[in-house]
Amino acid sequence: MSHSSVEPIEPAVHAASISVVVIGTRSSKLALVQTNYVRDALLAHWPGLEVGIEHITTKGDVILDRPLSAIGDKGLFVTEIEDAMRAGRIDLAVHSAKDLPSELPPDMTLAAIPIREDPRDALIARDGLGLAALPTGAHVGTSSLRRACQLRALRPDLHITDLRGNVDTRLRKLREGQYDAIILAAAGLRRLGLESAITELLDPTVMLPAVSQGALGIETRANDAAAELLAPLDHAPTRRAITAERAFLARIGGGCQVPIAAYAVLEGNTLTLHGLIGARDGRTVRGALLGTATEPATLGIALAEELLGRGGQALLQSE
């Protein structure tokens, strides 16, 4: 996702002259918490700025009777928001970065990636049990092919059932006994103040996170002055990690229909990228590569090609 080869166009209007911006967001409680975080950060850096919020309903919010993987659209939670940006109704959008397609349209840009929250997956079990202690045949809810694949590899005895709805809905379904346990992103639970519900945080060596999990992506129109407003919110180490993960995903070409995971860790100038390509039945090919922090996209592509060559391509073709 590097734009280094493209000469930036100087915006006609500079950030200092912008007095009003409108943020587009989904209407879920988590989306609004994330949007308010960005609004507050903008106001801290630009006193006097007026920040409006517009709620936008996306295809992914409307279709709740089918698994995400069955809908078959990489822009499930994004397309309508981008259309509002093109129409000039909003100036920027706050996304959970893992909802973003691996490649943005040419008229859009990822203007800022704030510091990442906890990237791990969280198990929430009704009886307070960890993953290893769940009884044989326990029903575990998840809407993610990535989580389901890794669960099947770890615990082939479990019954994996699709789980849709916002965080509150999913927790309610667990309390009602529809599931013995569910898996959600730790970041969303923390942002909502629900971390006390977590039974076990799953280490990335056990459950490799989704690409960009725990990070926010703030999108604007390409070459728009609003991007200048967002520059102070960008966290360079997080951007490097996310860039590597998104390059891995883009090279593989998977959307919601394929179990793919990636997680990058930055230490000094060294970036370590862990990746996984899976099949729905629990077969996986995984590995890790080290690279320089200054070339994260190169690292992502290199690991993708290695895993594809080690059996990942065959897994993708089997789906």
Active site members: 99
* Segment holding 181, helix H or strand E: strand 181-185
Dist. CA 142–CA 133, nearest whole Å: 18
Q: Determine contact, residues 173/165, Cβ cutoff 8 Å.
A: yes
User: Between β-strands 139-141 and 284-292, what pairing exists: parallel, antiparallel or unpaired?
Assistant: unpaired
What does the alpha-carbon distance between residue 246 and residue 256 come to, in Å, rounded to a whole number?
A: 14
Question: How far is the C-alpha of 37 from the C-alpha of 31, rounded, in Å?
Answer: 10
Bridge partners, 289 (sequence order) = 273
The contacts of residue 118 (CB under 8 Å, 6+ apart) are: 186, 187, 190, 201, 214
Q: Which of 97, 86, 35 shows the shortest CA–CA distance to 224?
A: 86
